[in-house]
Structure 1
């Protein structure tokens, strides 16, 4: 696996004594690995009854804990990160829900298979590495052999405990297909919304305007006063229709976003809210216009949720660009307890950002504060240049 052979300066290669200590740790973890494996398999076989679920709720976290200890030692041995890449379990998920997520997670099955290999071949490798130092006659063998033995053990762990390059590419294809389908659905929904807004707003007012002008034209000779009154109503209708059109345009691409960028647009948005919003930004340039628009509407949705649900007196938006990632943290001092899956707003934000490989994470303990972090990988343009923008 290519990802496991590339050097990483941030994780130093362990020395021989440390590698031997890792081997000793593996030997000591043999018993909890055996217990976790046996109880997990038993719980899976009895999952249709209550006792099986209880066993899984206890054994799966133990299995994950043991696997993570081996991931850590494998990462230090090989000098590369060994991520778990598990499916997340939402806070507050009930017992059956957690078991379902674990069952759907491919990494759970990988860890079960790894436990079986770790209890046999893996244990033998670690035991040999540890005994080579203990036995006096094997000192030279330990000096030259502990490193290749422990590297072999680490690669064996990585084979099961992390995804390979091909698997990551396959998962990436699946994620892109899902995000593309979601974006297409979202775009179709947006077009329907715009059609409704135009039909119920500006179009209805323009029809009323045409009728008022027609009646005024017919009344000019017979009743000039009534004609003047109808023209006045038509003028008011024109103003209202222009307001509706401006609202529709803002829903597509706010003019302030095109003129002042995402920072200026968020500052303008914050100024119109009924609660205090602190906006801080550290952006040396501007992101591409489509991404900038997606991030702005994501922040706008988060602030709208603050006003609707959080009962907050103060909110904040912090924008920064660091190591190729544009991030926005939207927080508030409200009552907390936000559930990103409970409504369609945050799901829409996630769909918008997924199209740009972005992520959304929510931390909202009961009592607050609520923090929503939007992250999108991107490069910024020079401050002196303006990216292509939407309608002004």
Structure 2
């Protein structure tokens, strides 16, 4: 019997642990209201001071403080409530230096709709968000206070200290009153613990209603992103065409021209100097073989035949066999991807393998490719020294440009000392 009771207690521990964590998060979210009030006072003073000139100096500081607080709340709402709240701020324009640039920046901050929405949230959050987050905490504290009343009812009654609990009056020596207060205290504590995980999603939706981008902002951001990716795609295509033209001009074309000249010379020498003509014919044959190999390499650089014939999985396995490193490939693709997506993913893997062989200093690479929830997920990890940084440009920046037209996401985690993990996500469907 005691063992069965212990089992039930052990089974209930995760329930209490989960709700205690949620209760602590509610408390933190409520306490964050008070620094927000200070920010609201600072912002209000800055806006009022604009008419006197002093606000122009305080406004950037106040807006940056408000945005920092709003970003913190977006992050907590995303991590704690399961509601993703993205930042709505547009890219800052380039302003001239000096006082003129400062004035333009201040006007831009004042006209930004995101600034007005942040300030609206800052004024309303103490009333809505703060009280909402306080509700489970208040229920638990009120329940605990019931036990305090029961434990100290004699002292409270003798000193005149409030011995009321909710709507019940505790009398010393009346066991029925104390039992009812204790039962209500337990009920309030359990109600507070039960409601804490329920309150967090509601708080997240409240935060998203004011701090997330509006449909107009999302549309403008999407248009800007598509404009940038289109420009990058056009530039990348032009660069690829120049590369193909250069490779043809410097490689196969030059060999074909040389081969034609050798054949012409051999035709003139064939009757009088057959040995020399034979030597030129052999040179022409070697030049044709080299030109053919260069053309094949060029075609593979544009779109590898194995990718068209066998799909992404086998094409990446072929890359692994040609790599100087030891590469393990895991593929879970129950179907074929669209050709442009396959090509982007293939060349991303090829560039990542080349970077690992050239810069990582490692010996092994692991590639995992799978399709989940309408997205191609590809993870490439090496055991090298790490320290890769997309901000330095080079191949990593090229990978971002290659994935951008497909709304692809590239995430790099490369701490100094390694390992380097490159994660690629591409929205796509399987055929």
CA pair 327-220 structure 1, distance change in 2 beyond 3 A? same
Q: Quick check: 1:250 aligned with 2:300?
A: yes
CA pair 25-118 structure 1, distance change in 2 beyond 3 A? farther
Partners of 2:382 and 2:421 within 8 A in 1: yes
State the Cα deviation string for residues 82-131 of structure 1 (Å, max 9, x = none). 3447899xxxxxxxxxxxxxx9xx9xx77865664345333234566669
Partners of 2:33 and 2:126 within 8 A in 1: yes
C-alpha distance in 1 between matches for 2:25 and 2:391: 41
Match of 1:190 among 240, 244, 247: 240
CA pair 59-334 structure 1, distance change in 2 beyond 3 A? farther
Match of 1:64 among 66, 71, 93: 71
Q: Quick check: 1:206 aligned with 2:213?
A: no
Partners of 1:33 and 1:66 within 8 A in 2: no
The aligned runs of 1:341-380 (5 Å cut-off) are 341-380=391-430
- Residue 65 of structure 1: how far off its partner (Å): 2.6
- Residue 153 of structure 1: how far off its partner (Å): 7.7
C-alpha distance in 2 between matches for 1:336 and 1:212: 51
C-alpha distance in 2 between matches for 1:87 and 1:367: 36
Match of 1:323 among 373, 377, 387: 373
Taking only aligned residues, the RMSD between alpha carbons, in angstroms, comes to: 4.2
1:33 aligned partner: 36
Partners of 1:113 and 1:160 within 8 A in 2: no
Q: Quick check: 1:272 aligned with 2:322?
A: yes
- Residue 315 of structure 1: how far off its partner (Å): 0.5
C-alpha distance in 1 between matches for 2:221 and 2:292: 47
CA pair 264-228 structure 1, distance change in 2 beyond 3 A? same
CA pair 64-171 structure 1, distance change in 2 beyond 3 A? closer
Partners of 1:23 and 1:150 within 8 A in 2: yes
State the Cα deviation string for residues 9-66 of structure 1 (Å, max 9, x = none). xxxxxxxxx9999886554222222456678989x94899xxx8xxx7x997565334
The aligned runs of 1:111-126 (5 Å cut-off) are 113=116, 116-125=119-128
State the Cα deviation string for residues 64-86 of structure 1 (Å, max 9, x = none). 3345446667x57xxx5434478
2:147 aligned partner: none
Structure number, greater radius of gyration: 2
1:99 aligned partner: none
Partners of 1:71 and 1:158 within 8 A in 2: no
CA pair 368-47 structure 1, distance change in 2 beyond 3 A? farther
The aligned runs of 1:305-316 (5 Å cut-off) are 305-316=355-366
Structure 1: which 5+ runs fail to align? Answer: 1-17, 89-102, 138-142, 382-392
Partner of 1:286: helix, strand, or coil? coil
CA pair 337-85 structure 1, distance change in 2 beyond 3 A? farther
C-alpha distance in 1 between matches for 2:131 and 2:411: 44
CA pair 136-20 structure 1, distance change in 2 beyond 3 A? farther
The aligned runs of 1:78-89 (5 Å cut-off) are 81-84=84-87
- Residue 350 of structure 1: how far off its partner (Å): 1.6
Partners of 2:88 and 2:211 within 8 A in 1: no
Structure 2: which 5+ runs fail to align? Answer: 1-20, 47-53, 92-105, 143-164, 168-190
C-alpha distance in 2 between matches for 1:24 and 1:201: 70
C-alpha distance in 2 between matches for 1:164 and 1:347: 30
Of 127-136 and 296-305, the range deviating more from structure 2: 127-136
C-alpha distance in 2 between matches for 1:22 and 1:330: 36
Partners of 1:125 and 1:150 within 8 A in 2: no
Partners of 1:362 and 1:373 within 8 A in 2: yes
C-alpha distance in 1 between matches for 2:380 and 2:200: 45
State the Cα deviation string for residues 187-243 of structure 1 (Å, max 9, x = none). 111111100000000000001101111111111122111111111111111100101
The aligned runs of 1:217-232 (5 Å cut-off) are 217-232=267-282
State the Cα deviation string for residues 321-370 of structure 1 (Å, max 9, x = none). 01111111111000000012323322222222211121111110001110
CA pair 228-25 structure 1, distance change in 2 beyond 3 A? closer
C-alpha distance in 1 between matches for 2:129 and 2:275: 100
- Residue 287 of structure 1: how far off its partner (Å): 0.1
Figure out how many residues of one structure are paired with residues of the other and give that number: 332
